[in-house]
Amino acid sequence: MDTSADLRLLFHRLNNQLGIILAHAELLESKATDPVTRSRASQVLSSALEAMGTVRDIHQLAVPPSTDAQ
C-alpha cells in the first residue's frame, strides 16, 4: 500500500471511532435525567463533531485530492 492509501485508511478508521463517540454522546444526551449530565453529554457531542471537522481538515492537507478518488 502506498502512503496516501495508508493515510486514507487511518483517516477512515479515526472517523469511524469518532462516529461511535458521537453516537454514544447523542444517546447519553437524550437519556440524561438531569441538566448537568445533559450538559456534559452535549460537550462530548460538540467535541466529537469538532474533532471530525479537524480530521477532515488534516485529511485535505495530508492527502492530495488527485489520490483521494472514491
Res. 56: pLDDT tops 60? yes
d(CA 15, CA 21) in angstroms, rounded, equals: 10
pLDDT value, residue 66: 62
Inside any domain, residue 64: no
Answer whether residue 62 is part of any domain: no
pLDDT top residue among 6 and 66: 6
**Residue 20 in this model has a pLDDT that exceeds 60:** yes
Predicted confidence (pLDDT) at residue 68 exceeds the cutoff of 70 = no
- In this structure, is residue 2 part of a structural domain? yes
Dihedral, 56, 14, 49, 60 alpha carbons, nearest 10: 0
Residue 12 is assigned to a structural domain of this protein? yes
Q: Does 60 reside within a domain?
A: no
The answer as to whether 44 is a domain residue is no
Tell me how far apart the terminal alpha carbons of the chain are, to the nearest angstrom: 16
Give domain status of residue 51, yes or no.
no
Q: The pTM is what?
A: 0.80
Instruction: Provide the pLDDT for residue 62.
Output: 85
Distance CA 52, CA 60 (A): 12
Q: How many domains does the chain have?
A: 1
Q: What is the pLDDT of residue 64?
A: 73
Question: Can you give the residue range of the structural domain that contains 5?
Answer: 1-32
